[in-house]
Structure 1
Amino acid sequence: MHYRTLGNTRITTSVLGFGCMRLPTREQGDQFTFPHGPINQEKAIHIIRKGIEAGINYIDTAYTYHEEEGEIIVGMALKDGYRKKVTLATKAPVRMDYYCEAEHFEKYLDDQLQRLSVDFIDIYLFHGINATLWEEKIKKFDLIERARCAQEEGKFKYLGFSFHDKPEVLKEIIDSSHFEMMLVQYNILDRANEEMIAHAAKKGLGVAVMGPNNGGKLAGEPPLEMQPWVTEGRANFVDLSLKFVLSNQNVSVALSGMGSEKMLDDNVALVSDKNYDKLTDTEKERIHIIEAKFKELSNTICTVCRYCMPCPNEVNIPLIFASVIRHQVYGNKKTATWAYSNIGKVRWFPGKDATACLECGECEPKCPQHIPIIDQLKEAHRILTG
């Protein structure tokens, strides 16, 4: 395992962090279907502890993960001496509608400390900040000042934020000088934050990256027509995408949502290699091919984060878009159309299909990828029923 310094915090972090948004679930399906369901407690605790024993010392969770069960399981995993071995990061649910008063900062922070069964949190982040939340919650409720008071009380050590918006908004937040670290999306298919990652690092912020596999699109088997360029040797999608992120020396830690022991073992093997952050000319060429091919194969960039949910009319937006990706990118038409046709008919595909969309527009402002969800749902129905 290799390690880097997390900005000016003096924290030494493993370059691979354990993202706890996609823990093993009791009804474990594929990466697109069940990334957020009820957690398989035994498997989740085992895999988190196995990661720590392999040298991972950065654990990332959030109030909302796994239907608000995630922090509880992480807290259980960190008992028996594991807590002292890690940097623990979690997030205040400021993006949620129920987080609507200044006093909610203390309310939810105290609740999270109890859920995690810890005396303090190492890094406390505002979750999913965008321009609207920055103005209407962080500034309006004076949450920075409240955070500093809690920090002085010893409830957490460092203040950060995770981010889903345009780079110019990110720059404003970085330049506010309120934060010690940030968590942003960055991968082969989404390099919009690359310049701001360098800017943040220069100003001394620790930089954590989420979505190195683009929410699963760079995980598993690549599309058949791309395999000749990708799967030669160890350079599969997961290896190459993680190596790409870590080749950026401004990145302190890359988070991976590891829902299986195989994913954990593969990632640990990569970041234990002496050349884990050095891209060869051949790998750089493959990256260019991947970028071009994905743009050609799919216009849907959904990462199945579920921020669009719940839908007022119970449309299963993440599953629908995941089915389109499975169809268009991976060429698995049979599975994709079967899943779509069974929405609402089997218990592991709950909700309704795209025809139930009322075009209310409630989902679109919530999407970190700025997908025109209403139009894409219509297109998804055409693709999956044609």
Structure 2
Amino acid sequence: MQYRTFPGIDKPVSILGFGAMRMPTKSAAPSDIDEEKAIAMIRHAIDNGVNYVDTAYVYHNSCSEGLLAKALKDGYREKVFLADKMPMWCAVKPEEGGLDAIFQRQLDRLETDVIDMYLLHNMNTPYWQMALDMNAVEWLQQKKAEGKVRYIGFSFHDTPEKFREILDAAPWDFCQIQLNFMDRDFQAGEEGLRYAASKGIPVVIMEPLKGGRLVNNIPPTVQEIWDSSPVQRTAPEWGLRWVANHPEVMCVLSGMNTIEQVEENLRIMKDAAPNSLTADEVALIEKAGDEYNNKIKASCTGCRYCLPCPMNIEIPRVINIYNQWHVFHDAIASKKYWELPDDRKPFNCVGCKACEGKCPQSLPIASVMREMTEIFQPEKLKK
């Protein structure tokens, strides 16, 4: 395992981190985690050098933290940096009880007294304003002073300008951004990565493979690019190595959901040193990213923040089909559309846009629902 050392962080951090947002489940319900498989995966990763584990209050319908508590028993808690997050969209709800109540709930779920890496979750323009209104930064600093958290940061989904504003607003110990070879100029992007580095702030990376979109159902034109390389690597290896190639990156989170993915990522990251790719390899990877950008119309990562939909539409599933249709125009995408239950199909959208306010990618979800209906069931369009 490769480790990265940054000033202000007391020990080296593994370049591969375990993201506990996409763990295996026994059914379609996110809360129905397959505990035996998930615990085995997490412990196997730690046994092989991973020392950063990331969760959040809302992951797996608020069941991720409890699963991690079980996985980190038997001495595993002491082996890792444990990361968790404060969701401002929950903190503003009176029934949640405010910042202190949510934080105590997290400590209880995790069965720990201290959270190593604590972030304001999904900072964008509205959520940052909520944080300011609730004095959340000062609250974080107080928790750090009390020894309840060790390092304070934020995860981010908004414009480069907003990233700079938030990064400059407090003495952050670290931050977390979305970055992959397709999203080089999206949200904070490489520009934000470099700006954080200029301030001496280490960066954790999420969505390095864009929720798996960069390694599944690879378009033929992208596969041709991979096949043209003198050095043959798998799509996950190209993607993860591109992110890890940046010396500014402290840790790359991967939402692994099979033991095979854990094994593959461990293999890839064991020698994913900074600046280890050649200039030609970097150019090849970024050419593949450009090809994806030319094809995919809605950059959904499957984070599920848009749910629940008031009309019960399975928004991430619909957008995934939407992108597959525009990339492939094939029978598989059509079949997946018709497999949707009628009460979950996009024609049920009433255009309330509640989902759009929660989407980290700022996707025009209501327009996507209408376009999908136009493609497959135009007779269902609401006038």
Q: TM-score, normalised by structure 1?
A: 0.90
Does residue 45 of structure 2 align to residue 51 of structure 1? yes
Match of 1:259 in 2: 257
Matches of 1:337 and 1:102, distance apart in 2: 41
Residues 177 and 275 of structure 1, relative CA distance in 2, 3 Å threshold: closer
Matches of 1:385 and 1:286, distance apart in 2: 40
Residues 353 and 149 of structure 1, relative CA distance in 2, 3 Å threshold: same
**CA deviation map 1:354-382 (0-9, x unaligned):** 10000112111221112111111122234
Matches of 1:355 and 1:269, distance apart in 2: 44
Match of 1:355 in 2: 347
Over aligned residue pairs, what C-alpha RMSD do you find? 2.2
> Shift in Å at residue 234 of structure 1?
4.3
Match of 2:308 in 1: 310
Match of 1:378 in 2: 370
Match of 1:294 in 2: 292
**CA deviation map 1:136-177 (0-9, x unaligned):** x21111122222222222211111111111111110111113
> Shift in Å at residue 269 of structure 1?
0.6
> Shift in Å at residue 88 of structure 1?
0.3
Matches of 2:209 and 2:85, distance apart in 1: 21
Residues 200 and 277 of structure 1, relative CA distance in 2, 3 Å threshold: same
Matches of 2:245 and 2:304, distance apart in 1: 29
Residue ranges of structure 2 left out of the alignment (5+ in a row): 379-383
Matches of 2:69 and 2:281, distance apart in 1: 39
Q: Which letter maps to 1:342?
A: E
Match of 1:339 in 2: 336
SS at match of 1:160: strand
> Shift in Å at residue 292 of structure 1?
2.6
CA contact (8 A) 1:308 1:364 kept: yes
Which 10-residue stretch deviates more, 297-306 or 145-154?
145-154
Number of paired residues? 373
| 1:220-231 equivalent positions in 2, closer than 5 A | 220-231=216-227
Residues 375 and 325 of structure 1, relative CA distance in 2, 3 Å threshold: same
Does residue 19 of structure 2 align to residue 19 of structure 1? yes
Q: Which letter maps to 1:220?
A: N
| 1:191-202 equivalent positions in 2, closer than 5 A | 191-192=184-185, 193=188, 194-202=190-198
> Shift in Å at residue 325 of structure 1?
2.6
Q: Which letter maps to 1:9?
A: I
Match of 2:100 in 1: 106
Task: Please point out which of 137, 146, 157 is paired with 2:150.
Answer: 157
Matches of 1:98 and 1:317, distance apart in 2: 25
Residues 116 and 277 of structure 1, relative CA distance in 2, 3 Å threshold: farther
Does residue 319 of structure 2 align to residue 326 of structure 1? no
Match of 1:348 in 2: none
SS at match of 1:138: helix
Does residue 61 of structure 2 align to residue 67 of structure 1? yes
Match of 1:10 in 2: 10
Match of 2:381 in 1: none
**CA deviation map 1:302-359 (0-9, x unaligned):** 1111111111111111110111233333x383332222222226xxxxx511100001
Matches of 1:49 and 1:158, distance apart in 2: 23
Match of 1:117 in 2: 111
CA contact (8 A) 1:243 1:277 kept: no
